[in-house]
Amino acid sequence: MTVHELSVETPAPPRRGDARSREPEPARPRKGRSKAAMFLILPTMILLGIVVLYPVVSAMVMSLFKDPAIDPATGKFVDQGFAGLSNYTHWLFQRCTDTTGASVSCPGGTLGSLFWQSMWVTVFFTVVTVAIEVALGLWFATIMNRAFRGRALLRTSILVAWAIPTAVTAKLWYFVFAYDGIANKLLGTEILWTGDTWPARFAVVIADAWKTTPFVALLILAGLQMVPAEVYEAARMDGANAWQRFRSITLPLIKPAILVAVLFRVLDVLRIYDLPAILTGGGGGDGTATTTLSILVIDQMRQGFNSASALSTITFLFIFAVAYVLVKVMGVNVIDTQEQQRKA
10 Å CB burial of residue 5 (0-12, 13-18, 19+) is exposed
CA 70 to CA 340: how far, in whole Å? Answer: 62
> Are the CB atoms for 161 and 173 separated by under 8 Å?
no
Sign of CA pseudo-dihedral 259, 265, 268, 272: negative
Where does 118-343 sit in CATH, by number? 1.10.3720.10
- Write down the pLDDT at residue 3: 46
Q: DSSP alpha helices (H): ranges in the chain? A: 30-48, 54-62, 86-93, 114-144, 151-163, 166-176, 182-187, 197-224, 229-237, 242-245, 251-253, 255-270, 274-279, 293-301, 305-324, 334-343
Q: How many CB atoms lie within 10 A of CB 83?
A: 19
Q: Which of these, 276, 300, 255, 283, lies nearest to 126 by C-alpha position? A: 276
Selection from 200, 206, 172, 212 nearest residue 291 by Cα: 200
Question: Over the chain (344 residues), what is each successive 10-residue block's mean pLDDT?
Answer: 48 53 55 78 89 86 81 66 83 64 48 78 94 94 84 84 90 91 89 87 94 93 88 86 86 89 92 91 76 90 85 91 84 52 49
* pLDDT at residue 207 in the model: 94
pLDDT at 344: 46
**DSSP string over 110-127:** SSSSHHHHHHHHHHHHHH
Taking a C-beta distance cutoff of 8 angstroms, is the pair 208, 131 a contact?
no
Domain ranges of the chain: 118-343
CA torsion angle for 121, 125, 131, 134 (degrees, to 10)? -160
Of 128, 141, 152, 140, which is closest to residue 253 (Cα–Cα)?
Answer: 141
Query: Quick one: pLDDT at residue 90?
Result: 82
